[in-house]
A and B are shown apart, each in its own frame.
Chain A
Amino acid sequence: MENTINTQVRANSEPQPSGNSELLLQLKDVSVSYSPEKKAVLNVSADIYSNTVTAIMGPSGCGKSTLLRAINRMHELYPNIKTEGEILLKGENVLDMNPMKVRRMAGMVFQRPNPFPTMSIYDNVLAGYSLNNIKLNKQEKDEIVETTLRGVALWDEVKDSMTKKGSFLSGGQQQRLCIARALALKPELLLMDEPTSALDPISTNRIEELILDLKQQYTIVIVTHNMSQAARISDNSMFMYLGELVEYDSTKKMFTKPKEKRTEDYLTGAFG
């Protein structure tokens, strides 16, 4: 009984759209299980609006990365992982769509920068096109590379070394290159899985500024370990614990007046 009430409260407290943003991603009763006994994500429901940054927080092993990776169906790499429920991206259930189309609509940035080591910086940006056999002429390629790299504030640093391998760059630059690679395909949604956890503070800062900047054009869902990062960059926050979505609200509200005891405990450092 208590649970039902909680769910209702949670649903009402979900962040509302502001300005001209619209409903982009809807999670309905999403569960992810690694095996029949072991569920990593339990019945998560949430609405995410366009041009917002949504942070998913929680202690290690709470299922936040698992939830994120369910959105672009990355779990299909491992056949024993099962995703249930509905994930509606622009009203269409991604679980029924062609996974390749889903992944082009929802770009992903990983924990560790992973530019393709055999490709040049230029080719890395265009990898999404070349790997999907989308033919572009030289002018289109140049244009995409330049605008995308400018978009991630990397253009000025690499414009003279386009033919060098991606691994030639520093960790922070590599991560911005990976963001550029994901953005080059003009996705509806950008999923980021702890994108700064392998970076130094200065590089982290630049990525955070970039995220705030990208919000104008993209919708971002970011998994983060770091509460202050979530407070700095996100509009809305989800707090997950043991696979459950405990609380989902605007970041401001959650950090000042959390509704749930568990959220408060986590935010004040009682556990996690």
Chain B
Amino acid sequence: MSSTLQYRRAKDKVFLCVVCILSSLTMIPLFLILWELLKKGYKQINLSLFTEVAPSSMDAMLARISNEPIPGGILNGLSGTILMLAMAIVMSIPVGILSGIYLAEHKDSKFSSVVRSLTDLLQGVPSIVVGVVVYAWVVRPMHSYSAFAGSVSLAIMMLPMIIRSTEESMKMVPGTLKEAGLALGASYSTIILRILLPAAFGGLFTGSLLAICRVMGETAPLLLTALGASAVNLNVTEPTSAIPLLIWEFYNDPNLANLVWTTSLLLLVFVLVINIIAKNIAKKWKIQ
């Protein structure tokens, strides 16, 4: 009898060890990536990174020969990313949140289940395909690569995540709140806007932030839509750069290759910070 117990305890311990080891293994890649980026990129971190545009190949070559840090920064990419993300947010968040509310409020209708499955499929569409389609829809008719086209492709990629996170967080709101609002004589739209949406706000906000994180590093669709630019561009109809596009450009130019690490580090830090903020908000706004 007691030997079975001992055997069970031993088995339990072994299992726990294995699980712990395996889960710590999953943390290794992130730390390796961060370490690698820091090691290779720290030399280029300075203020001009945020205040100057990407250097020309010639300037970078001269700096390399005289063994100085490469001049210039990534301001054109940073501004382009912010511009395109802002436009993508304006396009996708209202549509995404409204569709999410519809899906949560009409769980069982035929139309909802169609929308739900299509949303899942949209999430699975490869980003390069989204880029090609937006190229055909926006870039060709406008006869120019543009920040607008880039933001359309980002908005399409954000939509499914926003829709599903809205739906999930609306479903988490207890039905008794809806009844309470109804019993006070409030109209349906008032209940949605003033009771259910605020109660689900934490989830909506987190979902939107995570969607932003997700598309922040998208490169393929931007290559076909925003193209890139060597100067800061805030005109939405002109080609525009973005941080991931700059990484791609730096990678393709041996003189600029050193900047790849710093730029990647920066992009990763942005994504991680937004992620952490999103997680904290989710915790803080959790419905009791």
* Interface positions of A (Cβ within 8 A of B): 72, 74, 77, 100-104, 107-108, 110, 112, 114, 116-118, 127-128, 130-133, 167, 178, 181-182, 185
> Which of chain B's residues have a CB closer than 8 A to the CB of A103?
182-185
A203 to B201, CA, bound (A): 32
B260 at the interface (CB under 8 A from A): no
> Which of chain A's residues have a CB closer than 8 A to the CB of B185?
100-104, 128, 131-132, 185
Contact with A along B174-205 (1 / 0, CB 8 A): 10111111111111001100110011010000
A127 to B181, CA, bound (A): 8
Known contacts A110-B180, A117-B177, then 19 further A-B pairs from the complex at CB < 8 Å, ordered by chain A residue: A100-B187, A102-B185, A103-B182, A103-B185, A108-B179, A110-B183, A114-B176, A114-B179, A116-B180, A116-B181, A116-B199, A118-B198, A131-B184, A131-B190, A131-B191, A132-B184, A178-B180, A181-B184, A182-B183
A130 to B183, CA, bound (A): 14
Residue of A nearest to B201 (CB): A118
Q: Which of A104, A114, A128 has the most C-beta atoms of chain B within 10 angstroms of its own C-beta?
A: A114
Kindly count the residue-residue contacts between A and B in the assembled complex, taking CB atoms under 8 Å apart: 71
Name B's interface SS.
Answer: helix
Q: Is the CB of A182 within 8 A of B184?
A: yes
> Which of chain B's residues have a CB closer than 8 A to the CB of A130?
194
Name the one of A77, A127, A167 contacting B178, with C-beta atoms under 8 angstroms. A77
Q: How far is the CB of A87 from chain B (nearest CB, A)?
A: 16
Q: Is the CB of B187 within 8 A of A117?
A: no
A86 to B269, CA, bound (A): 66
> Which of chain A's residues have a CB closer than 8 A to the CB of B287?
117
Q: Is the CB of B179 within 8 A of A131?
A: no
A46 to B201, CA, bound (A): 44
- What are 12 pairs between A and B in contact, CB < 8 Å? A100-B185, A107-B184, A108-B179, A117-B177, A117-B199, A118-B195, A128-B185, A131-B181, A131-B194, A178-B180, A181-B180, A181-B184
Name A's interface SS.
Answer: helix
Given contact pairs A101-B185, A103-B184, A178-B180, A114 touches B174 in the complex (Cβ within 8 A): yes
> Which of chain B's residues have a CB closer than 8 A to the CB of A185?
184-185
Q: Is the CB of B179 within 8 A of A110?
A: yes
> Which of chain B's residues have a CB closer than 8 A to the CB of A114?
174, 176-177, 179-180
A104 to B177, CA, bound (A): 16
A185 to B181, CA, bound (A): 13
Q: Is the CB of A107 within 8 A of B183?
A: yes
Q: How far is the CB of A168 from chain B (nearest CB, A)?
A: 9
Q: Is the CB of A72 within 8 A of B183?
A: yes
A116 to B195, CA, bound (A): 7
A128 to B243, CA, bound (A): 50
> Which of chain A's residues have a CB closer than 8 A to the CB of B174?
114
Q: How far is the CB of A160 from chain B (nearest CB, A)?
A: 21
A77 to B187, CA, bound (A): 11
Q: Which of B180, B194, B287, B288 has the most C-beta atoms of chain A within 10 angstroms of its own C-beta?
A: B180
Contact with A along B53-72 (1 / 0, CB 8 A): 00000000000000000000
> Which of chain A's residues have a CB closer than 8 A to the CB of B201?
118
> Which of chain B's residues have a CB closer than 8 A to the CB of A100?
185-187
A131 to B196, CA, bound (A): 12
Given contact pairs A116-B195, A118-B199, A131 touches B177 in the complex (Cβ within 8 A): no
> Which of chain A's residues have a CB closer than 8 A to the CB of B184?
103-104, 107, 127-128, 131-132, 181-182, 185
Residue of B nearest to A167 (CB): B288
> Which of chain B's residues have a CB closer than 8 A to the CB of A77?
178-179, 182
A131 to B185, CA, bound (A): 8
Q: How far is the CB of B135 from chain A (nearest CB, A)?
A: 43
> Which of chain A's residues have a CB closer than 8 A to the CB of B177?
114, 116-117
Residue of B nearest to A108 (CB): B183
Q: Is the CB of A74 within 8 A of B199?
A: no
A100 to B195, CA, bound (A): 16
A77 to B180, CA, bound (A): 12
Residue of A nearest to B285 (CB): A118
A112 to B180, CA, bound (A): 11
Residue of A nearest to B288 (CB): A167
